[in-house]
């Protein structure tokens, strides 16, 4: 039995009191405890930023790379050893700005991994500059006259790029977030979860109260079918006075790894692929 593993470690947490990352880590640990996975079967891949500090606080294998590159790192780890359960975590700045292109290709590629984005609608660690999800007219130190560009809708981008699992959660509902993470970890293919999360120190607009006033759960509507892409796109677009949360889309498709013939013989690490001489390819 593995359901009593807490995944806690003793590292001192340095997030500001009230930060949305506390809900995210609590939900992730609960989902991992319920998954039956053991710490050594999991790799948590961080980006750079406040949200990526999560790799220091969960008792699993971890890897942290460059800002915006958590997704390609996670994909590489999964392809090297597809027996591992790989979860990437980062902020909206790194993952939607510097690393925005990776979301498109991970969505269409469908490598079996989970991507959790702590979306506080700003760059938190560097003190509140605007990110691709900052609202139009949002005033920050980087945009004293307000943001000129329109914000992106990451769930719509993932759906348009072919994602087989797309969800939106918010830091005010740990039960819902835990259920979404559990389903995402169990999902076969690329699962993206955009988590609306307050940065209490630098974003005074998109607060927990702001989200609470607007969110509702898609599964409260008995007519909603998460396997219907048309309905999912409608729900993904609902990001304003009403914000749709929950699993917005899920389809059952072959993962990338299942379709790579060499991986049917076992993991690349198991096949000792590291010892293959690739020097002829490099001339």
Q: Which of 21, 112, 133, 134 binds ligand SF4 (CB under 6 A)?
A: 21
Q: Quick one: which of 57, 138, 170, 202 contacts ligand SF4 (CB under 6 A)?
A: 202
Residue nearer to ligand SF4 on the CB measure, 38 or 212: 212
65 binds ligand TPP (CB under 6 A): no
Please list every residue from 66 through 95 that binds ligand TPP, using CB under 6 A.
Answer: 67, 90-94
Is residue 131 a contact residue for ligand TPP (CB under 6 A)? yes
**Among 100, 116, 98, residue whose Cα is nearest residue 46:** 116
Cβ distance 43 to 84 under 8 Å? yes
CA distances to 141, 188, 219, 246 from 170, in Å: 26, 23, 15, 9
| Nearest-10 Cα torsion for 272, 85, 227, 29 | -170
Which residues from 116-175 bind ligand SF4, rule CB under 6 A?
120, 124-125
Interface with ligand SF4, residue 72, by CB under 6 A: no
How many residues bind ligand SF4, per CB under 6 A?
12
d(CA 246, CA 218): 6
Whether residue 102 contacts residue 161, with contact meaning beta carbons closer than 8 Å, is answered with no
Judged by beta carbon distances under 5 to 8 A according to partner kind, the member of ligand SF4, ligand TPP, none in contact with residue 267 is none
Q: Closer to ligand SF4 at the Cβ: 71 or 171? A: 171
CA 10 to chain centre: 24
> Min. distance of Cβ 127 from ligand SF4 in angstroms?
7
- Phi, psi for residue 271 in degrees, rounded to 5: -85, 5
Residue 265's CB is within 10 A of a number of other CB atoms, namely 9
CB of 208 to ligand SF4, least distance (A): 11
Q: Which is nearer to ligand SF4, 15 or 211 (CB)?
A: 15
- Tokens representing residue 185 in the block: 């970890």
Separation between Cα atoms, residue 188 and residue 252, nearest integer Å: 7
Question: Of ligand TPP, ligand SF4, none, which one sits near residue 131, judging by CB under 5 to 8 A according to partner kind?
Answer: ligand TPP
Chain centroid offset of residue 197 CA: 12
Binding positions for ligand TPP, rule: CB under 6 A = 48-51, 67, 90-94, 98, 118, 120, 123-126, 131
């Amino acid at each position: 039995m593995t359901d009593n593993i807490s995944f806690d470690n003793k590292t001192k947490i340095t997030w500001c009191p009230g930060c949305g990352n506390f809900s995210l880590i609590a939900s992730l640990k609960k989902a991992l405890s319920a998954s039956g996975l053991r710490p050594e079967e999991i790799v948590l891949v961080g980006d750079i930023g406040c949200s990526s500090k999560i790799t220091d606080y969960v008792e699993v294998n971890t890897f942290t790379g460059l800002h915006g590159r958590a997704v390609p790192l996670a994909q590489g780890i999964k392809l090297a050893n597809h027996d591992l359960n790989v979860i990437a975590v980062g902020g909206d700045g790194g993952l939607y700005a510097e690393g925005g292109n990776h979301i498109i290709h991970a969505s269409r590629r469908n490598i079996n991994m989970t991507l959790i984005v702590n979306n506080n609608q700003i760059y938190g660690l560097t003190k509140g500059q605007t990110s691709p999800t900052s609202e139009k007219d949002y005033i920050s130190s980087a945009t004293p006259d307000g943001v000129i560009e329109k914000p992106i809708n990451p769930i719509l981008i993932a759906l348009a790029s072919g994602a087989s699992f797309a969800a939106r959660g918010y830091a005010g509902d740990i039960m819902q977030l835990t259920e979404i993470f559990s389903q995402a970890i169990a999902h076969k293919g690329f699962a993206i979860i955009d988590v609306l999360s307050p940065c209490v120190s630098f974003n005074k607009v998109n607060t927990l109260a702001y989200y609470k006033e607007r969110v509702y759960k898609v599964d409260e509507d008995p007519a909603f079918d998460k396997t219907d892409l048309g309905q999912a796109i409608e729900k993904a677009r609902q990001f304003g006075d009403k914000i749709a949360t929950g699993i917005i889309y899920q389809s059952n498709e072959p993962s990338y790894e299942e379709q790579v013939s060499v991986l049917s013989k076992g993991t690349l690490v198991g096949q000792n692929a590291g010892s293959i001489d690739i020097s002829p390819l490099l001339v």
